[in-house]
Structure 1
Amino acid sequence: MLMNKIESALIDSPPRRLLQHYEANLLIKLGGCTPGARVAELGCGPGYGTRLILDTFGAVSVDAVDLDPTMLVKARRRLEHHGERVYLARGSAADLAAAFSPVGGGKDASYDAVFDFAIIHHIPNWRDALAEVARVLKPGGRFFFDEVTATALARPTYKALFDHPTADRFSAGEFLAELPRHGLHIGENWRTRVGADYLLGVATRTQDSR
């Protein structure tokens, strides 16, 4: 679902950019960089995370999807100097084949890594999004995620300021437990912050068993 105006403004603010840089460094500690990788990003927002994937993680290219056309305009402006290394599409994180078909992306086992900077908790059918992550990852490919859990979403500030799906929210434990059901091995490469409000980790796609 689309973010409301308050959250949209927040994710395009200097504090969010500073926090995302911090989170990127934590993800690198958990799962390393992605030099030369072909990457898919779920929910690019204003493009700052996409820029981190290219410039900090070292990916060679990023196919990124977002539902919000306003955010895509901002992302295109921010990422213009990266040229053909970036493809931005309007569409659903639960259907990457449809979003990336114009450039031949979104096929089975087509990406070395997938990034989720706090997007999946916005998706009502979040399990389908994880299945899509697993589908497009190559065996051995990595899923980098930074998520907001049901614990945080139940807090008064979140309820007052932001809009999120109200049913089937996931705790940190439920998100971690769902990963292996889609062939994503997490091991010890995860951390929670602020109690269990926020969950970061890097899961690896196991050998193709589909």
Structure 2
Amino acid sequence: MRMNRVESALVDSPPRRLLQRVEAARLARMGGRTPGARVVELGCGPGYGTKLILDVFGAARVDAVDLDPAMIHKAAHRLTRYRGRVNLAEGSATDLTAAFSAFGGGSDAGYGAVFDFAVIHHIPRWREALTEVARVLQPGGRFFFDEVTATALARPSYKNLFDHPTDDRFTAGEFLAELPRHGLHIADRWRTYIGGDYLLGVATRLSSGPGHDDA
């Protein structure tokens, strides 16, 4: 689900970029950096998160997807100096193979990390996005997530200013409970709540597949 005009403007504002720097630094402390890795970003937006993945996490290459062609255009402009290290694709986080088909990405479990900077709560079929996360991650690969929960989305500020799916929203607990069903293991020290509204964490893809929490 695309963001409305208010939220589209907000995600490319100085306050959001400052907050995203703080979130990225926190995630790096929680789950480590990804030097030299080939990674995926779900919902690149205007490209600032992509820049942080390259600069803060040290990824070698980012394959990023977004539904909004206007955001892809903004990201391409912001990331000009990273040419050769970034692939941008218009498409859905629930079908990375289709989105990345032009440059041969998304069809194999070869990525070292997947990044979600507050995107999955925009996806009506959010469980399918988690299926894709697990599918493209190599065993031991990490899923870095920063999410907005149903608690926050029910607040008047979110309801009045932004557009989000209204059905099947997830709480922090529901999101965390869903991860192991997709073979994604999260340790207690790798997650944190902020007032129940937001959730930051890092999960690792198990080598044994979904439903076998043997990490």
Shift, 1:45, TM fit: 0.2
Q: 2:213 corresponds to which residue?
A: none
Mapped to 1, the partners of 2:209 and 2:186 lie a distance apart of 17
User: For structure 1, which segment, 138-147 or 106-115, has the greater mean C-alpha deviation from structure 2 after superposition?
Assistant: 106-115
Mapped to 1, the partners of 2:193 and 2:6 lie a distance apart of 25
Mapped to 1, the partners of 2:3 and 2:132 lie a distance apart of 21
Aligned length: 209
Q: 1:65 corresponds to which residue?
A: 65
Shift, 1:103, TM fit: 1.3
Q: 2:148 corresponds to which residue?
A: 148
Q: 2:193 corresponds to which residue?
A: 192
Mapped to 2, the partners of 1:108 and 1:131 lie a distance apart of 13
The secondary structure found in structure 1 opposite 2:79 is: helix
Shift, 1:29, TM fit: 1.2
Query: Alignment identity in percent?
Result: 72
Q: 1:13 corresponds to which residue?
A: 13
> Aligned ranges for residues 96-107 of structure 1 at < 5 Å?
96-107=96-107
Structure 1 spans left out of the alignment, 5+ residues: none
TM-score with structure 1 length normalisation?
A: 0.98
Tell me the alpha carbon deviations over residues 110-148 of structure 1, each in whole angstroms, 9 at most, x when there is no partner: 200000000000000000000100000000000000000
Shift, 1:209, TM fit: 2.8
Shift, 1:108, TM fit: 2.6
**Quick one: which amino acid aligns to residue 168 of structure 1?**
D
Pairwise CA RMSD: 0.8
Mapped to 2, the partners of 1:178 and 1:113 lie a distance apart of 18
Answer yes or no: is 1:24 the counterpart of 2:24: yes
Mapped to 1, the partners of 2:209 and 2:28 lie a distance apart of 27
Tell me the alpha carbon deviations over residues 138-181 of structure 1, each in whole angstroms, 9 at most, x when there is no partner: 00000000000000000011000000000000000000000000
Answer yes or no: is 1:51 the counterpart of 2:78: no
Q: 1:157 corresponds to which residue?
A: 157
The secondary structure found in structure 1 opposite 2:87 is: strand
Q: 1:139 corresponds to which residue?
A: 139
